[in-house]
Amino acid sequence: MITLTPELLFDGIVLRPDMAVVIDDGMISDVIPACQAGPSAQPMQGILAPGFVDLQVNGGAGLLVGADTDAAALGRICGAHRDLGCAAILPTLITDRPEVTTSVIQATIQAINAGTDGLLGLHLEGPHLDPRRAGAHDPALIRPMQDDDLAQLCQAARDMPVLMVTLAPESATADQIARLTQAGVLVSLGHSDCSLETARAGFAAGACLATHLFNAMSQMGHRQPGLAGAVLSGDVHAGLIADGVHVDPAALTVALRSRPDGLFLVSDCMAVAGSDMDEFTLHGRRILRRNGRLTLPDGTLAGADLRLDRAIRTVIAAGASPARALAMATSIPADFVKAGDRLGRIATGRKADLILLDADMTLQGPVVLPQGNTPRTSGS
């Protein structure tokens, strides 16, 4: 049994001083006032928090979710992100050929059945998008949803704990969105040039979130609010790529003030995450890693070079409280995918998936708890 007494404890909702976490065989057996911890308690400098939950992860450890992805590759990607502080992730396949979608769905089911640590399910970002808002997606592979696609997605949602599908309401009907939702798919609107009215119709049909707010979507004008306006004036959830590159800090401030609830942080990271790679290939196109940005050679953003602790610091600078910023990377996404009973919080009876951050919210690493030894972070 190990008792940890950090300077601050983030329990998933609030930052709490003078608390202790009692861990027995990798499980949290109690959370108590530090004054009750006893002389064997082990102090930790910094903030003890639950591991991050990232719902948009395109790759890591040099691997990209795609045609070559199998269950072992998903395990490697999850492992790379565990070192980056993530207790759980949604690997994300961007627009690809139908056979690749099928292959990745099957690989995800196999990896889940094998008990792959940290694997929540799958996020399919496309191919049912609007080519006018393709971003780094290959426009030649974007297509409307057909009956076969709908049937495959509904079945996949029954075969895995979490299936998120990003689509544009221009490429899927309201009935298709409703049927996906009824099957358990988390439908997200994104990569769309839709009007406010079309976005609201998509949400009314069952879509419950938006993919990377502000990016690859119709922007908010005072007469044409678009998808961004629908999110800011509504109550659906939305992910944010808070790297200071994808979204200007002033826009982050607007979003945080407009939506006190429902926003969460995503990394949108690519194969370079957890590696020293300076470029990789996406559908035959070079993606360059330069100065914290990932771009096509023409400058088009192509995913992000982002860790969630950096995203936390970015939204704090934009006006979020430290507790809210931490929740945006832990309990809010965990609750959204209905995993809040095991992820995103520090509470009795939960697995001790813990991370340590310093006072400036820089990740020190996952807390490693070998039996009988002093706890350490993976970076120490």
The residues assigned a catalytic role are: 268
Amino acid, single-letter form, for residue 361: M
Give a three-class secondary structure readout of 203-214.
HHHCCCEECCCC
Do 66 and 93 touch, CB atoms closer than 8 A? yes
Query: What's the angle, vertex CA 257, arms to CA 256 and CA 261, rounded to 5?
Result: 60
- Integer CA distances (angstroms), 231 to 144, 336, 354, in order: 23, 16, 32
Q: At what angle do helices 308-317 and 249-258 cross, to 10 degrees?
A: 80
Instruction: For residue 284, give the 3-state DSSP assignment.
Output: coil
Structure tokens belonging to residue 252: 């982050």
Instruction: For residue 359, give the 3-state DSSP assignment.
Output: coil
Task: Identify the burial level of 332 via C-beta atoms within 10 angstroms of its C-beta, where 0-12 means exposed, 13-18 middle and 19 or more buried.
Answer: buried
φ, ψ for residue 205, nearest 5 deg: -75, -15
- Integer CA distances (angstroms), 348 to 12, 341, 354, in order: 13, 11, 13
Check whether the bond before 127 is cis (ω within 30° of 0).
yes
| CA atoms of 12 and 355, how far apart (whole Å) | 12
Structure tokens belonging to residue 125: 């970002």
| CA atoms of 324 and 342, how far apart (whole Å) | 19
Amino acid, single-letter form, for residue 152: Q
Amino acid, single-letter form, for residue 371: Q
* HSE value, Cβ hemisphere, 13 Å, CA-based, for 111: 28
Q: How much of the chain is in helix, strand and coil states, percent to nearest 5?
A: 30, 30, 40
Q: Please tell me what DSSP assigns to residue 259.
A: -
Query: In the chain, which ranges are continuous DSSP H helix?
Result: 71-83, 98-113, 147-159, 174-182, 196-205, 226-232, 249-258, 308-317, 322-328, 331-336
Q: Please tell me what DSSP assigns to residue 282.
A: E
